Amino acid sequence: MKTQDDIIIKKVPQVSKKCPNCYVHIPLNVEICPWCKKRVGMVDKHGMATRRVDWMSYIICFLAWLALGLYIKFAFFS
Ligand SMILES: [Zn+2]
């Protein structure tokens, strides 16, 4: 005879997450994958770690384009 406890799927606390870059199991509390050295976020419901947005890369990219634009402006239009 089935009781209520058999029907309810017991929530097992996750002890590891999967790196979204190299699919290696890593501990939940690490922020940088020890295998591929990429930043990883919190674990989602599938046990995968979420990707962190790398804001510094966006800022560096923006500044590089800005510098290029200013260089062209001063080199050719002044
Ligand atoms: Zn990795």
Judge whether residue 9 has pLDDT over 60: no
Give just the sign of the alpha carbon dihedral 9, 15, 20, 24. Answer: negative
Task: Tell me how far the alpha carbon of residue 56 lies from the centroid of ligand 1, in angstroms.
Answer: 19
| pTM > 0.85: yes or no | no
Interval 6-18 mean pLDDT: 71
- For 59, phi and psi rounded to 5 degrees? -65, -45
18 CA to centre of ligand 1 in angstroms:
8
**Any idea how long the chain is?**
78
d(CA 19, ligand 1 centre) in Å: 5
Residue 14 has a pLDDT of 73
- Residue extents of the structural domains in the chain: 14-76
Computed over its alpha carbons, how large is the radius of gyration of the chain?
23
CA of 36 to the centre of ligand 1 (A): 4
Supply φ then ψ for residue 77, to 5 degrees.
-120, 25
